[in-house]
Structures are given as C-alpha cells and as structure tokens.
Amino acid sequence: MALLEISNLRTYYRVRKGEVKAVDGVDFHADRGRTVGLVGESGCGKTTLAFGILQLLPYNARIVTGEVRFNDELVFRAPLTNELSYYLEHDGGPAVVDAVLARRKQALDRDRTTQAADVLGPLLQEEAYLIEDVEKVLAEDGRDAEATKTALARVIDRRARTMNRGFTRRALRRSMENRMSNLRWSEISMIFQGAMNAFNPVYRIGDQIEEALEAHLDLTPEERDKRIQELFSLVGMRPERAKGYPHEFSGGMKQRAMIAMALACKPDLVIADEPTTALDVIMQDRILAEIRDLQQELNLSMIIITHDISVVAEVSDRIVIMYAGEIVEEGPIVAVFERPAHPYAIGLLGAFPSVKGPKKKLEAIPGSPPDLVNPPPGCRFHPRCRFAQDICQRVVPQLVEVDKGHSARCHFAKEIFTGVMA
Amino acid sequence: MWDVRGLRKLFPLKSGILGSLLGREQYVHAVDGISFKIKKGEILGIVGESGCGKSTTGRLLVRLEDPTEGSMLFHGDDIAALKGSTLRDFRRRVQMIFQDPYESLNPRFTVMDAVAEPLIVHGVTDSIEAREDLVARALEHAELHPAADFEYRYPHELSGGQRQRVAIARAIVLQPEFIVADEPVSMLDVSIRAGVMNLLLRLRDEFHLTLVFISHDVGVTRYMSDRIAVMYLGRIVELASAEEVIQNPLHPYTQALLTSVPVPDPKFQRGRAKIIGELPSPIDLPSGCTFHPRCPYVQEICRTTKPELREITPGHFAECHFAGEVGIAGSPEMASAPSMSAEPEARAT
C-alpha cells in the first residue's frame, strides 16, 4: 500500500489574468521504502505539487479538487464547496454532482473512524452539513437541470460564506493547521531547493536543527544535543560543526546539514526539491550517493523533484514526468527510460546530452511550454507534438496503461509504445 | 587565430591600509597562467566547477577584463595591450553571449533596440532602414521567424529560449569572427536547450565562426565542442579533442569530474569518484600541483613541484606529473572497484 496518496489534486493560483492551473488533476503515490522521481521543466507544477503535500503554498493558491492521504489517513482535501463548484462549472450536471457526493460520503465515513478525525473534526462536520444541503436540493423533484444547477450554486455559495465567517473559519483553519503540524517534519519532511539560502544566517546550524526537534519531539536538552551529534555523523560531518554558522559552511556542507535537518525527527517520507541543483558536479555526486545510502539505511520513502533526468535515473525506482500541470507519463524507471510512451517523454530523453556512449545528435522539442492560465484545448502537448492528429486538439487524453504500472497520457500511447508510430 | 600565453588575472582583495603598508596584499588567483591556441572555425569548450576561472578566461578574451600578465595574440596582434580606437575595432570583431537572458537584455529595450544597439555603437550604418534590415536578418538567423513578429516585443513577452535567441542575434548582428558563449544554455529547460545548442552549431558552420563555449556541464560541453579545456583553480589541467577528453581522460581531476556526472540511463552503474575534500580557496593556492590535496594518487613530487602542461599523446595535453600513468582512463570499472577505501576520508571532510 502506498504511504502517500494524492488523488485528483488541482491547485490553482489566482493571478491578475485569471487562474494558473499549476497542478491540474494529478494522481500520485509514493510507496513505502521507495524513491520516486518527479521530473519536469520549470513551471510544470512539480514544486506546487510538493508544496501542496506539506501545505506550504502561498496565499494566492487554492486547492480546487482532490485529497491527500498519508498512511491511509486524511491529510487534507479540497473544501467540498470548491470541488462542487468546479464540477458545476465544467459541464457537470446533477449526475456528476451525485457521483462526487457519493464518493465524498464514502470517504467521510472512512475518515471518521481514523485518528485524523480527532483533529479534522470541524472540517468533516462542515462537509457533512453541505452534503445534507446538496442532497435536499437533489431530492426536490420537478426542476430541470438548469434550475437544479442554480439551486446548487446557491446552496454552495451559502455554505462557503458560513465557512468564511470568523468563528467557523478559525476553527477550520486551526484543525487543518493542527493536522499539518502533527505531520510536518515528524512524518513528512522536506529538503528545500537552494539549501544555500534555506538556513537563517544569524543562528547556528545546530540550533536551527534543535528548533525542529523541540517543536516536534519530546526530548530533554541533552537528548536533543545527542540527536544533533548523531545526525551530523549520519550525513558525514564532524559533530562539532553543529556549532557553526551557515556562512562557515560550503555549499555541499549546507546541503548535508539540510539533509540532517530533514532527517531530524525520523520522518517516514522525505521530499527533496532539487536537492543538488545549485551544487557542482563532484559535490552533487557525493550528495546523491549520501541520499541513496541514507534512503536504504533508514528505509525512507522519498520523492525527488528535479528537472535533471539523469539524477532521477540514478536514485529513483519509479519516475513520474509532469508537463503543464499534468502527469504525462509514469512507470518503473527502467521501463520508462527504455520505452517511453509519451511524445514529451521521448523528446525529453532525446534532448539530454550524456558523457557516456557515442555522441548522438540532440533533438529539440519545438515551441515552448504553454501558458497555464489558458492551456491549449485537448492534449496540452499537442502544439509541440510531432505525432499530433485532429483528435489531440479536441479531446483531453487520459492516462493509458501500456504495461504493468507504466502509463502515459496520450491518445496514441499504445501505438507509440508498441512501435506502430515512431 | 588565438594564441594565448601565460595569461594571468589576479583580483586584489581589500586588505585595508595596514595590510597594504605591510605588503600583505592578497589576491584571488582567478586565472593563473594559462596557455592555449584556438584555430579558426573551432569551438573550444571550457569546462570546470564554479570558481575555476572559466568565466574570467572568457571575459579576458573579449577584453571585458584586463589581464594582469601574459599575452593574447589574436591573428598575431596582442590584444592585451590594445587601447582606444584599436580596442574598439577589436571589439567589433568579437562578441559575447551571457548566461542569463533574463538579465542580459534591458527590460525597457524592444528586441529591435537590443539587437540594433551594437550597430549604433559601432556606427555601422546611418540609415534606419539598413539597420532594421540587418536586425531582421540577424533575428532570422537566430531562428526567430518571422522576424517582424519579434522586433517590437519586449523581453518580458518572450520565453527563456526566445530571449537567448535574441541575445544570440545581438551577438551575430555585427558579423563577428569570434564569440564567447558563457553558459548560454544553463538557464534553459532541457527541451529548449537542445534547440539553442543546435542553433549555435549551425551558426558556426554558416558564418565560419570561432567559439569559446564555457559551461559547467560536461555533457553539454562534449556536445558543443571540438576541443575541451578542463580548468581547475585557474589552471588548464587538461586540453584535448572533446572525444579524447571524454573517452580517455589523463588528469586525475578530469577523471573524477567525468565519473561524477550522472548518466541518464538507470541501468548504468557508475563508480564513485575517488577525489577527496573540497575545492581549496583560490587565495592561498596549494603548493606544487594545485590539485594535490585532493588527488588520490598524490606523490611527494606533487607537493613540491608544479607540473607543466605537457603533450602526453599528440594533441592531448595534461598538467600532471603522472598523466597517462594513473587510473585506467575513462573506464568506469577503474573508478568503482577501489573507491570504497577513499570513502571514509571523503565523509570525514
């Protein structure tokens, strides 16, 4: 069973031009003791996805649909008001609303029995209220679809307004915050992009790690000290370096300290966002080796986010490729590298220069990634795709399984995979 | 075309009045005596880690920096001594492409303004039509077609790849003989990068350009270059044809660098580099061979005597006392087997 499970997640950013659909309907899972590599170019939504897991999103982000579960317990999910509004807007008639509702009720029943329910109580209660309201509307006969839609919109709007009122809003916010702070760092931690700047320059590195320990674990100061020493040896640094300030550390050592900090509370899942991007190649190599060793030693689950497919090739068991807010291909690492089934994945692999093997001509992918405020209709990759047909401009492709555990979001995934199209 | 000898560039550190009175001035040895030649029509790749002096070398070649010592002969004339109008003439013949197209283009200039500026500075033509014509042609050459669509746009309306193409158009609009491209693709996404690299290769063929291509990425440098110079702490430690450096590296640093590059093939088992420690400060350089504190094959002579850049096999230069004798160059098996012994030391640093 998956340790972390994300289903149908949509995270949008409000901007002046409209909404940036940074993550748009992503299903993603991280298995226990495994490393999954999340790859994509800048602006494809990979960091938004990761920040979404830890709820570290900026103020203008909005979770529109979907939910995140950890250890089969709810972490958070989109408010039902958002989710229903989304489906009503996107040609969802009463039938779709019914389906959403049924799913939500089922999830709700399950969530109420878990421990997460203690903290998330107010949220679940609000959901139950709205489900009741919506069911009442759906039960009333003699209305056409259009009228039902209006009535639903009214009910949703009313509920959203209640949820935004002072007391309720604070209660909801607090329950979400509590749930997250139970998870953050003690269960899920993160290695941030640019460790260079992730530390506060005016505090000693050791003290910054201690802060995390103090916040999440119940230890005496001596135990905390001991733990910091352990952590420093674990990542290959002398324990007395914990007394140093960030400016006394080189880039690679800061990155190691960052890893030590991420491991401080013995999390089950570590999310590493571009852990080696700012480092020189020799240091990158050492840090990657370190990450690989620690992952095996501690049986960690990891999500490695990077734009560099060669890094993923080295450390991951599974690869997930994102493009324009969607997952376009995922599967076991060797399978995807050997037989990619999505044209974008093929392009990405063909555009990467290597120092091994004979020198080969690199093929660029024409054009540039789309504007995610108004993504292209149909398949989001079609304007850049050399296989594009009529259907690609009209119909949104679904993830197609081409082999066991290996799927691609392309109308012609099977043809490309079997070599009929090439 | 170029014959560079003993080129040095030291940057003084602020040492205060007392320090300078006591003669304790300190210098950053950015480029510390390098010599190389570049043939016409060749692409020389310079590769190295941050702070190795590769960018300073590039800036010296177009005289954005003045060398502290050494000579740079460009078609036989020493560029290091140029001043005034002769320097201006030289600058018309060389151009530079910078790393970050988000910063190298003035946000308040349209594409037309940006690309036309070198023409104005060098007074190529007084007629506005002729100028616009040249700009349009340069944009077309940089694969921004139709050029008319781009001429009056501002940098913020362009994607990263398009911006870098504008920067390339600006570099070729004067039809220079020689271009220094300093990390021109490292800010670009993978899918865009290959296009810009192929463009540079095509322009080289079309205009018989000579290029110095500076990058920290060995894979990219291999793809772009005819010959590769590997730099370490201000010195060229290895210089040979690109495939020779990749397949048969002779210097222990080059070997470590190549072993460290991740390979986009999940089945490939890469060895671990045997290099130890971290990059020393370029202010207090190690004695003897600057690489000796990190070298797995270090001998007594390395600590005391500075090696010279020697021609080991025809056209293959390396700056190591034991070049060609240490390591089994290029083969991953060599690096993987005994590397575990070096590992505890690496961890201790």
Within a domain: residue B237? no
Within a domain: residue A62? no
Are A354 and B346 in contact (CB < 8 Å)? no
Q: Which residues pair with B293 in a beta bridge?
A: none
Q: So what's the pLDDT on residue A17?
A: 87
Terminal CA-CA length for chain A: 36
CA distance B125 to chain A (A): 34
Q: Is A41 on the interface with B (CB under 8 A)?
A: yes
Query: Residue A355's closest chain B neighbor by CA?
Result: B219
Q: So what's the pLDDT on residue A420?
A: 82
CA distance B244 to chain A (A): 12
Same domain for B260 and B189 = no
Tokens representing residue A408 in the block: 């691609």
3-state SS class at A185: coil
- Domain residues for the domain of A227 are 204-267
Q: What is the helix (H) or strand (E) element at residue A306, kind and residue range?
A: strand A301-306
Q: Is A359 on the interface with B (CB under 8 A)?
A: yes
Q: What is the helix (H) or strand (E) element at residue A287, kind and residue range?
A: helix A281-297
- Please identify, among A215, A232, A267, the residue that sits at the C-terminal boundary of a domain: A267
- Domain residues for the domain of B135 are 2-231
Going across the sheet that includes A18-31, the strands are A18-31, A2-15, A61-70, A73-77
- The pLDDT confidence band at residue B16, using thresholds 50, 70 and 90, is low
* Chain A environment of B159 (Cβ under 8 Å): 368-369
- Please identify, among A234, A267, A300, the residue that sits at the C-terminal boundary of a domain: A267
Residues 144-163 of B with CB under 8 A from A: 159-162
β-pairing verdict for B43-47 and B227-232: parallel
Tokens representing residue A173 in the block: 């916010």
Going across the sheet that includes B210-215, the strands are B94-97, B178-182, B210-215, B43-47, B227-232, B235-241, B316-318, B310-313
Q: Is B275 on the interface with A (CB under 8 A)?
A: yes
User: Rounded to an integer, what distance in angstroms lies between the CA atom of residue A388 and that of residue A407?
Assistant: 19
Are A366 and B195 in contact (CB < 8 Å)? yes
* Chain A environment of B251 (Cβ under 8 Å): none
Same domain for B130 and B56 = yes
CA distance A346 to chain B (A): 11
Same domain for A178 and A208 = no
- Which of B43, B55, B246, B265 is best to mutate for the A interface (most A CBs within 10 A)? B265
Residues 255-294 of A with CB under 8 A from B: 280-286, 288-289
* Chain B environment of A309 (Cβ under 8 Å): 190, 264
Within a domain: residue B178? yes
pLDDT tens, position by position, B78-137: 888 888 888 988 989 999 998 888 888 999 999 999 999 999 988 888 888 999 999 999
* Chain B environment of A354 (Cβ under 8 Å): 219, 263-265
- Please identify, among B171, B205, B231, the residue that sits at the C-terminal boundary of a domain: B231
Same domain for B315 and B216 = no
Within a domain: residue A208? yes
Q: So what's the pLDDT on residue B19?
A: 64
The minimal CB distance from B263 to the residues A289, A354, A362 is found for: A354
Residue by residue, DSSP assigns A252-276 as HHHHHHHHHHHHTT--SEEEEESTT
Are B262 and A283 in contact (CB < 8 Å)? no
Are B263 and A313 in contact (CB < 8 Å)? yes
Contact yes or no for B43/B211 (Cβ under 8 A): yes
Within a domain: residue B266? yes
pLDDT beyond 50 at B332: no
Same domain for A220 and A172 = no
Q: Is A57 on the interface with B (CB under 8 A)?
A: no
Q: So what's the pLDDT on residue B249?
A: 92
The b-or-e profile of A277-304 (16+ CB within 10 A means b, else e) is ebbbbbbbbbbbbbbeebbeeeebbbbb
- Please identify, among B231, B258, B276, the residue that sits at the C-terminal boundary of a domain: B231
Interval B334-342 mean pLDDT: 37
* Chain A environment of B49 (Cβ under 8 Å): 280-282
Number of A/B CB contacts below 8 angstroms equals 129
CA distance B325 to chain A (A): 22
CA distance B146 to chain A (A): 14
CA distance A391 to chain B (A): 24
Same domain for A85 and A123 = yes
Query: Residue A313's closest chain B neighbor by CA?
Result: B266
Same domain for A227 and A171 = no
Tell me, yes or no, if the pTM score tops 0.90: no
Q: So what's the pLDDT on residue B273?
A: 76
Query: In chain B, what percentage of residues exceed pLDDT 70?
Result: 91
Same domain for A151 and A244 = no
User: Rounded to an integer, what distance in angstroms lies between the CA atom of residue B284 and that of residue B286?
Assistant: 6
* Chain B environment of A249 (Cβ under 8 Å): none
Q: Is B264 on the interface with A (CB under 8 A)?
A: yes
3-state SS class at A34: coil
The minimal CB distance from A313 to the residues B222, B265, B275 is found for: B265
pLDDT beyond 50 at B331: no
pLDDT tens, position by position, B213-259: 999 999 999 999 999 999 999 999 999 999 999 999 999 999 999 98
Within a domain: residue A242? yes
Same domain for B261 and B138 = no
Same domain for B56 and B185 = yes
Same domain for B74 and B38 = yes
CA distance A60 to chain B (A): 22
The domain spanning residue B74 has which CATH number? Answer: 3.40.50.300
Same domain for B279 and B185 = no
pLDDT beyond 50 at B335: no
Are A351 and B194 in contact (CB < 8 Å)? yes
Are A288 and B275 in contact (CB < 8 Å)? no
* Chain B environment of A359 (Cβ under 8 Å): 222-223, 243
Give how far the C-alpha of residue B10 lies from the chain's centroid of Cα atoms, to the nearest Å.
18
Query: Residue B192's closest chain A neighbor by CA?
Result: A364
Q: Is A325 on the interface with B (CB under 8 A)?
A: no
Contacts of A91 (CB under 8 A, 6+ apart): none
Are A366 and B270 in contact (CB < 8 Å)? no
Intervals of chain A under pLDDT 50: none
* Domains held by chain A: number: 2
Same domain for B63 and B148 = yes
Q: Is A252 on the interface with B (CB under 8 A)?
A: yes
Same domain for A121 and A210 = no
Same domain for A142 and A97 = yes
Same domain for A173 and A84 = yes
Residue by residue, DSSP assigns B103-120 as TSS-TTS-HHHHHHHHHH
Same domain for B165 and B39 = yes
Same domain for A102 and A147 = yes
Same domain for A225 and A164 = no
Within a domain: residue A96? yes
Q: So what's the pLDDT on residue B334?
A: 39
Same domain for B223 and B149 = yes
Same domain for B145 and B100 = yes
Within a domain: residue B254? yes
The minimal CB distance from A356 to the residues B159, B220, B263 is found for: B263
Within a domain: residue A168? yes
Interval B46-67 mean pLDDT: 90
CA distance A236 to chain B (A): 5
Interval B181-197 mean pLDDT: 89
Place of tokens 């590997």: B230
Q: Which residues pair with B297 in a beta bridge?
A: none
Q: Is B43 on the interface with A (CB under 8 A)?
A: no
- Please identify, among B198, B231, B264, the residue that sits at the C-terminal boundary of a domain: B231
Same domain for A256 and A173 = no
Are B278 and A250 in contact (CB < 8 Å)? yes
Query: Residue A319's closest chain B neighbor by CA?
Result: B266
Query: What ipTM was assigned to the predicted interfaces of this complex?
Result: 0.83
Within a domain: residue A370? no
Nearest to A331 by CA among A52, A71, A323, A342: A342
Contacts of A343 (CB under 8 A, 6+ apart): A381, A385, A386, A387, A410, A416
* Domains held by chain B: number: 2
Same domain for B140 and B95 = yes
Q: Higher-confidence residue: B188 or A165?
A: B188
User: Rounded to an integer, what distance in angstroms lies between the CA atom of residue B211 and that of residue A369?
Assistant: 29
* Chain A environment of B260 (Cβ under 8 Å): 281-282, 284-285
Q: Is B216 on the interface with A (CB under 8 A)?
A: yes
Q: Is B205 on the interface with A (CB under 8 A)?
A: no
* Chain A environment of B282 (Cβ under 8 Å): none
- Please identify, among A152, A182, A212, the residue that sits at the C-terminal boundary of a domain: A182
- Which of B191, B198, B347 is best to mutate for the A interface (most A CBs within 10 A)? B191
Within a domain: residue B243? no
Same domain for A173 and A114 = yes
β-pairing verdict for A61-70 and A2-15: antiparallel
